[in-house]
Every structure is written in structure tokens, then in C-alpha cells.
Amino acid sequence: MTGVRADPARRRRTAAAGALGGLAAAGAGLAAAGLAAALVRPESSPLTAVGGAVVDRTPTAVKEWAVRSFGTSDKLVLTLGIATVLALLSAGAGILGVRSPRAGCAVAAAVGLLGAAAALSRPEAGWKDALPSLAGAAVAAGVLYLLVTAVRRPRPAGGGPAGTWPMDRRGFGRLLAATVAASAVAGYAGRRLGAHGSAGATASRDGLVLPPPAAPAPPVPAGAELRVPGVGPFLTPAGDFYRVDTALVVPRVDAGTWRLTLHGDGIPRPLSLTLPQLLARPLTEHDITLCCVSNEVGGPYVGNARWLGVRLADLLREAGVRPPSRGGPADQLVARSVDGMTIGTPVETVMDGRDALLAVGMNGEPLPFAHGFPVRMVVPGLYGYVSACKWLTELRLTTFAAYDAYWVRRSWAQQAPVKTQSRIDTPRPYAKLAPGRVAVAGVAWAQHRGISRVEVRADGGPWREARLGDADGADTWRQWVWPWEAAPGEHTLEVRATDGRGDVQTQEVRDTLPDGATGWHSVRVSVHG
Ligand SMILES: Nc1nc2c(c(=O)[nH]1)N[C@H]1C(S)=C(S)[C@@H](COP(=O)(O)O)O[C@H]1N2
Ligand SMILES: [Mo]
């Protein structure tokens, strides 16, 4: 070894330089990989690929915990976690590399192979998906080699006070600066190139003119909106609509090249449609509240929108599909997205007369990319994971016995109708209120059965009927409000809804797994004079 002897101060310095070199090499590798991924596809970048592979392999209980703890930031937390592990590994590789450049480079190569393997394991992946990680590993290993060699090189004569800095400090510093600069340039180029790569998709969305509905939705009844401060609008703006999916980068599908295929068991006339062909069919507009099975009692993963789309039942009939009740052989419709998500929906439900849609529009606009552009499914009355496939590209008929979709393989129920739920949106939990009249208000939903009553009670007292906003069909939530005379003290408010069939929301507390949480939402508040 050169210049590294037992002196602990020197050791620390070379180790620090090695760690710094390792981090810089990893940064260079990631920048190079990002540049390559912009050319291949965004999902193939190593952090995204490893993140996606982790998502797919994470046990359901851990995933539910992550969603509970981090909400919609769970993806950010995951990416930061992976970046932290990578940073530690890189720093270690640098420290090791000062002792043995080969060993350091081997670590870089191994990490790159792991990234490549993750990218190849993703659904819809091709061999090209391995390239960004491999390119990144090659760059990282090369840069690491140069940097650790500089650390090992002895200090040139007259290069600073001997004994404090054993290596070629200036050479190392220059190399480090050059690496950081080159990485920044490559990173920027990757971003620009990535934006350029999805420019076609963006233009296809900007240029999409949605045809008017053949069957428009009636206007939302004026009385549906109770206008109580603290309760969101009746129709949730797309920008505020909850988002739940496994995609670490939002797929940006070019509508110009998009196709939908419909095939499988018992389809005499399989279909393959472009977007203009789909849009040439009569469009239906319908207000539907969508909610997630992972939504806990009182949780935020529910939203209401005006959807525009082709009735799925019409398309199935056009292809010659019969529901099981009419002797059709397939009871499950499996939707597949461009990112390999699979979502299984009962054929019977889709064809029972409800407005199950292949949606292209949300609140009067083409679907946002995050919500499934260009086409997604929405089925009133079913949780999203069994009905609402975004970035849809394939519909296949099969049976529940023959095929388990993505979430079903992860312990969720095969079939999951929405459970009756109600939520107190105001007052907020632990609010400090002044005594007197307080508007207790929120929303209640039981899609496709409708909501017939909402009741509220304070401190376990008698149930009081809340005033309901006007119903906008049976497939949307209803707002409710109850005027409460708040007396000083600590109080618990509870809510329960009754659906359109007269069934009262159950008090039984059940977890989100396997088919949706139950129980009553309650909020504790304190009232001070
Ligand atoms: N392609 C794809 N579609 C998907 C998902 C997904 O992970 N990938 N998640 C489903 C789930 S679990 C829900 S609750 C809804 C959420 O739709 P949103 O994000 O538009 O609110 O999308 C569904 N469709
Ligand atoms: Mo969901």
C-alpha cells in the first residue's frame, strides 16, 4: 500500500477521501444510467427499477404500514431509502477501493448487476432495460478506479505539509470536481432527454379533443354541495384527487400509438382498438365516487369525479361476450396496464346495467397522466384495486379460478364491493372549539347502493339524524351536516351511515385487509369557554 500506514489521522483522511470518491462515482453512475434510461424508458433507471422490484416484493403488511405511516409520500420515502442504502454501499466501496481498487470496482459492478436484474424483473421489461444499470455500473467502476488511484498516489514533492495529507490531494480534488461537474451535465441532459421522450405523449394529451357525450350526466343537483367549510367540494378536482398505484414514475402513454385489445375465453369477436376507434363509440358521462380498499375508516383515499367514457358492457357485447348468468364461460375480466398491473373485475358486475366505464375524461378534461391517460376503467361500487385499472391496454376474459390478479396474489380478496362508510371532515381531530353551535359535517358513501341516512352522536348519546346533501345518483358520495350544541369539555363525535337498501354501516372494526375496513369514524375534540 502506498502512503497509508498505521497513522490514524492519515487513515481517517484516506478513508474519508475514499468514501467521497465512492459517493462521487455512484453519482456519476446514476447520472449515466439516467441518461441511458431516458433513451430506453424511464422505468429502466436503476433507482426506479429497484424501487419497483421492492414494491412488488414487499409483504402486504409492510406495504399497508408504509401507506399508513407515509400516505402518498410512501414512494418518496422508498426512493430515499434505496438512495441511502446505495450511498452507504458506495462510500464503503470507495473506502475498500483505496485498499484494493479491484475490490471497489467489483462492488460497483455487483450493484450495477443488481440494478439490471431488478430492471429485467419488472413486468413488461425487455433486455434493453438492463442497459442503464450496466452503463451506470461501468461508469461508476471507471470513475471509482480513477479516484481511488489518485488517493493511493503518493503526494508529489512539495505538495503541502508532509504527514497530514498522504496522497496527491490536488490531483484527487481536480478529479473529484471534474466527476461532479460531468455528472451534473449528464444528469441535466438525462432530464432534458426524458422530457423530450415524453413530449409525444404530452402533445397527444394536449391535442386530444373529447367528443361530447351521447348520454350526458344531468347537472349535479345544486343541493349536493352543502358548502360547509372544512368539507371538500362535491366533485373532487383532478389535482386534489387521491392517487394510489405502484408506479414510481407515472406512465406517459402516447395516445397516438395506444391500443386496447379485448380477447380471451368466450369472445367470438376479439377487438383491437385505437383511441379514435374507441372514441367513435357513443360516450357516457357519469358521476362516480372512487375509493381505495387501503383507505382506513376516516381516511383520505376517496374522491368523486365526473367521468366520461365508453360503457364497458357495450364493448363486451360488441365482442360477443355473455355474462356468466347468460351462460358465458368467463366470470373474470382482467385489465392490464402498460406498466404490467393486472386488475380482475367480475364480468357479471360490469354487465349488470351499471355505468362501468372505459373512461377517457375526468371532470371535463382528458384523464391526467397520473390518473390513467389515455384510458382507465371505473366501475361504480367496487374498490379501485378490483376495478379501476389506469393506463389500460388489455382486457382479457378468464375465470377467477384460473387467474389471480396482482393484488390477489398479495393477500387481498378476489372480489371487493365497496363497504358503506362515512367520515367526519369537520371538526378536525383534537380541534379546540368554542362552546355553542358547531357544524359537524363530512361525506358518506356506499357506491351503487346509495346513502339514505347519516347519523351523528356525541359522547355515546342518542343518534341524531344529519341533514344530507342532495343525492347525485347512487354511485356518488353524499355530503352531510349536523348542528351540534357544544358544551365545554372533552367530546367524542361519531358518525354512521345507512345505505340505500336500509343497511346500517357496521360498528365492527375490521382492517383494510383483505377487502376493506369497517367501523365508525370518530373524532375527539375539546370545547373551552
Ligand atoms: N395501472 C394501475 N392501475 C391502478 C392501480 C395501479 O397500481 N396501477 N391502482 C389501483 C388502485 S388500488 C386504486 S384505489 C385506483 C386509484 O385510482 P387513482 O389513483 O386515480 O385515484 O387505481 C387502481 N388502478
Ligand atoms: Mo386501491
**pLDDT tens across 298-334, in order?**
999 999 999 999 999 999 999 999 999 999 999 999 9
How many angstroms separate the alpha carbon of residue 293 from the centre of ligand 2? 5
Predicted pLDDT of residue 3 = 46
Query: Rounded to whole angstroms, how far apart are CA atoms 498 and 450?
Result: 9
Strand partners, 432: 526
**pLDDT tens across 144-196, in order?**
999 999 998 877 666 555 555 667 788 899 999 999 999 999 999 999 999 99
Q: Is 172 in the pocket of ligand 1 (CB under 6 A)?
A: no
Closest of 143, 23, 41, 146 to residue 88, by C-alpha: 23
Reduced to 3 states (helix: H, G, I; strand: E, B; else coil), residue 498 is strand
Predicted pLDDT of residue 71 = 82
Range 81-88, long-range pairs (CB < 8 A, 24+ positions)? 82/47, 82/50, 82/51, 82/54, 83/47, 86/26, 86/30, 86/47, 86/111, 87/23, 87/26
Instruction: At 166, give phi and psi (nearest 5°).
Output: -70, -25
Query: Rounded to whole angstroms, how far apart are CA atoms 283 and 276?
Result: 12
Q: How confident is the model at residue 344 (pLDDT cuts 50, 70, 90)?
A: very high
Residues 317/88, Cβ–Cβ less than 8 Å: no
Weakest-pLDDT range from 9-13, 252-256, 374-378, 432-436: 9-13
Q: Is 388 in the pocket of ligand 1 (CB under 6 A)?
A: yes
Predicted pLDDT of residue 416 = 98
- pTM for this entry: 0.94
Domains and CATH numbers, the chain: 2-203 (no CATH), 238-410 (3.90.420.10), 421-527 (2.60.40.650)
Query: Rounded to whole angstroms, how far apart are CA atoms 361 and 379?
Result: 14
Sheet holding 342-346, edge to edge: 271-274, 259-264, 392-398, 332-337, 342-346
User: Across all residues in the chain, what is the average pLDDT?
Assistant: 95
The pLDDT of residue 501 is above 90: yes
Q: How far is CA 437 from CA 242, 326, 345, 428, 461, in A?
A: 32, 56, 46, 16, 17
Strand partners, 304: 289
**pLDDT tens across 372-395, in order?**
999 999 999 999 999 999 999 999
How is residue 167 annotated by DSSP?
B
Q: At what angle do helices 101-121 and 8-39 cross, to 10 degrees?
A: 30
Query: Rounded to whole angstroms, how far apart are CA atoms 316 and 435?
Result: 58
User: Which whole number is the average pLDDT over 426-432?
Assistant: 98
Q: Is 412 in the pocket of ligand 1 (CB under 6 A)?
A: no
> What would the DSSP string read from start to end of 277-293?
HHHTSPPEEEEEEEE-T
The pLDDT of residue 2 is above 60: no
Q: Which grid coordinates are listed for 51?
A: 424501487
User: Which whole number is the average pLDDT over 513-521?
Assistant: 98
Query: Rounded to whole angstroms, how far apart are CA atoms 68 and 74?
Result: 9
Q: How much of the chain, in percent, has pLDDT values that exceed 70?
A: 97
The pLDDT of residue 4 is above 60: no
Closest ligand 1 atom to Cα of 293: 14
Q: How confident is the model at residue 1 (pLDDT cuts 50, 70, 90)?
A: very low
Predicted pLDDT of residue 293 = 97
Q: Which grid coordinates are listed for 323?
A: 355474462
Q: Is 15 in the pocket of ligand 1 (CB under 6 A)?
A: no
Beta strands in 106-149 (DSSP E): none
The pLDDT of residue 143 is above 50: yes
**pLDDT tens across 6-40, in order?**
688 888 889 999 999 999 999 999 999 999 999 99
Q: How confident is the model at residue 123 (pLDDT cuts 50, 70, 90)?
A: confident
How many angstroms separate the alpha carbon of residue 244 from the centre of ligand 2? 6
Query: Rounded to whole angstroms, how far apart are CA atoms 498 and 420?
Result: 7
> What would the DSSP string read from start to end of 227-268?
--TTS--SSPPGGGS----S-SS-----TTT-EEEEEETT-S
Predicted pLDDT of residue 165 = 60
The pLDDT of residue 527 is above 50: yes
